[in-house]
Amino acid sequence: VLNRGAFPAETVPELLGVRPAIVAAGVAVMILALFSLFQVYGI
């Protein structure tokens, strides 16, 4: 795969369409990590 820059023009619509899902997944992972820490430390 050639490095054509961080934001090739043809992938901008895909990034805009996928980014909310990525953000939601990241938030979910962070929440799960916090819950696991709370269970481990008994908070």
What is the DSSP code (8-state) at residue 18? H
In degrees, to the nearest 5, what angle opens at C-alpha 40 toward C-alphas 28 and 22? 10
Predicted pLDDT at 6? 58
Residue 7 is assigned to a structural domain of this protein = no
Residue 36 is assigned to a structural domain of this protein = yes
User: Residue 21 and residue 29: Cα distance in Å, rounded?
Assistant: 12
Residue 22 is assigned to a structural domain of this protein = yes
Residue 4 is assigned to a structural domain of this protein = no
Domain that holds residue 17: 12-41
Domains in the chain: how many in total? 1
Residue 29 is assigned to a structural domain of this protein = yes
Q: pLDDT truncated to tens, each residue of the chain (43 aa)?
A: 455 555 556 666 666 677 778 888 999 999 999 999 999 887 6
